[in-house]
Amino acid sequence: MRDVRLHDTKTGALKALEPREGHVGIYACGPTVYNRIHVGNARPFVVFSLLKRFLEREGLRVTFVANVTDVNDKIYDAARARGIGSEELAREMTAHYVADTDALGLGRPDHEPKAAETIDGIVALIQALLDRDAAYVDAAGDVWFRVRADGAYGSLSHRDVEQMDQGEGLEGADRKQDPLDFALWKAQKAGEDTAWDAPWGRGRPGWHIECSAMAEELLGLGFDIHGGGNDLTFPHHENEAAQTRMARGTELARIWMHNGMLEARAREKMAKSVGNIALLPDVIGRWGRDALVLFFAGGHYRQPLVFDDETLAQAAAGVRRLREAGRRLVDGPSPEDLAGHKDAFFTALADDFNTPRALAEVWAWVREANKREDVGADDLREMLDVLGLANLLDAEDAAGADDEALALLEARQAARAARDFAEADRLRDELAGRGWVVRDTPQGAELVPADG
């Protein structure tokens, strides 16, 4: 195994990955399921799925946990706007999330816990904080974390504690003992249709405590890597770290690994609030999963990544180039004098998971191979497999859709023509569940295997 180093947000430096007994635990914050996910939400899913592939190739056992936040203010609000129950909306959007990320062809995380299924652990963690006087209950039944009780608060996000705004608005502000404090438990309010009983009253958990409890339950304390978008560093991850530290007397994770955001050309973060989002299934439908995965791998995970037609077209051209290379290769071992590129590829991944530098070795390998005849594909296949793109070396086989899949495609086209987009989306998701991605082209819709 190579010496793997990853950038730790807390220390601001590269930190050695030191697995215990050959096992690595990774927790990455997943979506809040009040709407379909956009392509920016998919970046951490791809980054940590590929990181798992690399670490397993290095001989490690990896447990990858990506949660689903299915209890949240945004879910209540979105469900109320649609006139349905919050549990129904959460189930619907969770199903969409699974289908949409299945279409990436990278497999599923080992565990995908839901907040609503972790209430007992959440309540126990809050009680531990109350027992240690790191939390308090107000007159309305809300429970607050006492920020100043944690002398290390702010050490993850490197912010001045006095300047921190939890972003919780004015709700309950008059009941806080300190403006810095944040909610661990929120008493049930009018119009909130989902709540649970707790020793301090009926209600539901705050966002931050959910992840602390789910991560601890599945990975224990002091696990190796806690990941997520860098927009979560504060307040979400800062609060997760503080809660566990005060409740358990130890750190939640050893490395905090954050990916950058997707941006438009104007350097504007992709976000629903900004209105510049592109839904993941739409992007896959237009460009294909191969181009999208290659696009993500083309940027260093810590850096912002420009998402537009130009960058996706470049990725699509890369996919075509790799497919063409695959047609020229033969099965079997690669020439020994090309092995240096493979070694440099994996060395780049060991150095803060530098996928663009690793890809440069892929392209160098392809350039050399294209100058020769009867070159074996094994080295290239091994490299592309870590990136989830080994399928590009296989013969294309977009044919083979059964009659039921073709009928579903026809029904989807009819629904789109009738402007029944909800039904069209449902049929697209059903096709995804059968292993097919619908790609809309100027020549019409076609079915493409989800892993191809």
pLDDT tens per residue across span 86-145? 999 999 999 999 999 999 999 999 999 999 999 999 999 999 999 999 999 999 999 999
**Per-residue pLDDT, 251:** 98
Residue range 254-269, pLDDT digits in tens: 999 999 999 986 566 6
**Per-residue pLDDT, 430:** 86
State how far the alpha carbon of 112 is from the alpha carbons of 30, 365, 381, 398, 422, in Å.
9, 37, 29, 31, 26
Task: Name which CATH class applies to 307-393.
Answer: mainly alpha
Mean pLDDT estimate for the chain: 92
The more confidently predicted of residues 199 and 404 is 199
Same fold, 20-259 and 307-393: no
Q: What CA–CA distance (Å, rounded) separates 401 from 8?
A: 46
**Per-residue pLDDT, 398:** 43
Neighbours of 361 (CB within 10 A): 20
Give residue limits of the domains in the chain.
20-259, 307-393, 403-449
Token readout for 390 is 């080994």
What radius of gyration do the chain's Cα atoms show?
23
The fraction of the chain above a pLDDT of 70, given in percent, is 94
76 contact partners, CB below 8 Å, separation of at least 6 = 86, 191, 192, 193, 194
Rounded to two decimals, what is the model's pTM? 0.87
Domain 20-259 has CATH 3.40.50.620: yes
